[in-house]
A and B are shown apart, each in its own frame.
Chain A
């Protein structure tokens, strides 16, 4: 059973009707194929219309869709021989960030990804994709390893933010994030990051200070969650939709601002409606970015990455 978002209700109703009709066809021998076809066309049109003009707040909901492909899904789909690596070698293993080595279209790479989990048990295991310092320190360790073996780094970003907890603060959440950004910025290997769902603030940039930063079409990337922003500036989280609009957190706006380098088109109705197509588009986009970067020498990659970040903000909307 697919989860529908509030604004997808008319689509959900149409799809339910199609299902019902299909069921009937199976039982009786009345031919209602033409009616099904008509409804399918209608659904398709409605999806197209709805998704062509999603508001920022609707995008936030799509980005958080429970069936949206998460970090591990992307890894499974895009990497061969993926070998998971664990631990920060100092305190523990933080499953909010997963990573390891594998082969992306024939080439050995290091991959680092947030993982939110897909059901209650896995969400708890991965702490809903909200990392503690150990997660960022593991990411840093994996970057060190990538540097040593000259492996390109691919990061999949999908987090509501760094975990706000007493234990996380006690072990230096701020320092861990700062150090991860620092490491990413000094990598002498190609570094490509893709925001696949939610790019939540410091927890996201920790693994996204990359040479090429891409976003899936309906992903969002922001300094603060719309709810958090609304509760501070509007003094009510009811204004989350207004905040989402004001924050300019959509892939389309961020591309205009020069903060990201590319937008990866999603299948109609979002990546979760056609995962295979989404992974193919994602793989192609990463491949193109990597092809552009491999072969450049380390010093050049560092200089180019720095220059890119230093130039941000020269253009407004």
Chain B
């Protein structure tokens, strides 16, 4: 909001006496270059700025549609204990959960959604974080969901594509949120033992306990351009070392330069890249190739 939107626009509207409503979300401002982008144009470009290529956050459902072939189905996830610690800060945790549920699409249980289908014709399960649900934080429900996603992949002999977008552990579940680190890693180990590919697509942001567990153990690590990825939060680091952080610190490209990811891939190329990787990994000899459809 600036003086143009909250002062000039209402003034003009009163002057014109126009009743025609202009939707608020018709235009988006790119958080990186500041350019105004027409809503439809931004959506058509997969929420990548048409001016500077900045990748805005993408809704979890659209992410699934982007990665899996049409016809995928969402999976029901286990329902663990709610609020095991009876946690309360300035607000009750159960109230925070209620608010998050009210904003989330119907049927969504927590910060993770899981869908099964194919990617480029090969069986794949996608486990995608919803950052808008309590910052994509990982508690029991997310951990159980991730374990269920790995189990579904094993049952279908499918690859698992994990897409974290998370601030880290869900503090309100205390130690049980920390325990999701080993629990999610057990899921990765099972996939590994089943010989199935595990692809991690790191999106903005992937930090804390999520980055220090399943999200860094992919057979292939892919990151979206500009995504913030790291263990410690930038403010914590600044307070510890008391100096400015280097340019581009903890961004996808920085991780690539430091050998922590295999590639940084723009959003539009993600699906073909992952599909190609899956074919290379799951159909190693031409004879085993899928018959041309």
Contact = CB atoms under 8 A, between A and B. Distances in A.
Q: Is this pair of chains taken from one and the same complex? A: yes
Nearest to B230: A169
A296 to B, nearest CB: 18
B186 A169 contact: no
A304 interface: no
B175 A182 contact: no
A205 B260 contact: no
Interface in B174-211: 174-179, 181-183, 185-186, 188-189, 208-209, 211
Give the size category of A's interface with B. 35 or more
Interface in B213-262: 213-217, 229-233, 236-237, 240-241, 245-246, 249-250, 254, 258-260
B188 A182 contact: yes
Given A169-B237, A185-B185, A223 B246 contact: no
A177 to B, nearest CB: 4
Contact of A248 (B169, B175, B188, B229): B175
A201 B209 contact: yes
Contact of B89 (A165, A234, A313): A234
A234 B214 CA distance: 29
B231 A202 contact: yes
A188 to B, nearest CB: 13
A232 B179 contact: no
B276 to A, nearest CB: 24
Contacts of B182: 181, 184-185, 205, 209, 309
Contacts of B12: none
A169 B169 contact: no
Interface in B135-150: 140, 143-144, 147
B110 to A, nearest CB: 13
A123 interface: no
B73 to A, nearest CB: 25
Contacts of B250: 169
A306 interface: yes
A202 B182 CA distance: 10
Contacts of B181: 178, 181, 202, 205
Contacts of B183: 309-310, 312
A181 B249 contact: no
A271 interface: no
Contacts of B87: 246-247
A316 B84 contact: yes
Interface string B119-155: 0000000000000000000001001100100000000
Contacts of B178: 201-202, 205, 222-223
B51 interface: no
Interface in A171-188: 171-175, 177-179, 181-182, 184-186
A170 B241 contact: no
Contact of A202 (B84, B189, B208, B237): B208
A254 B175 contact: yes
B33 interface: no
A228 B169 CA distance: 13
B179 A166 contact: no
A314 B208 CA distance: 24
A233 interface: yes
A242 interface: yes
B109 to A, nearest CB: 15
A27 B73 CA distance: 87
Given A169-B232, A229-B89, 19 more contacts: A162-B232, A164-B232, A164-B233, A169-B250, A170-B258, A172-B258, A172-B259, A172-B260, A178-B185, A178-B216, A178-B217, A181-B182, A182-B217, A202-B209, A243-B89, A259-B176, A306-B189, A313-B80, A315-B84
24 contacts: A164-B231, A164-B232, A166-B246, A169-B237, A174-B229, A175-B217, A178-B185, A178-B211, A182-B188, A205-B179, A205-B182, A206-B212, A223-B173, A223-B178, A229-B89, A233-B90, A243-B89, A257-B84, A259-B176, A313-B144, A315-B81, A316-B81, A316-B84, A316-B86
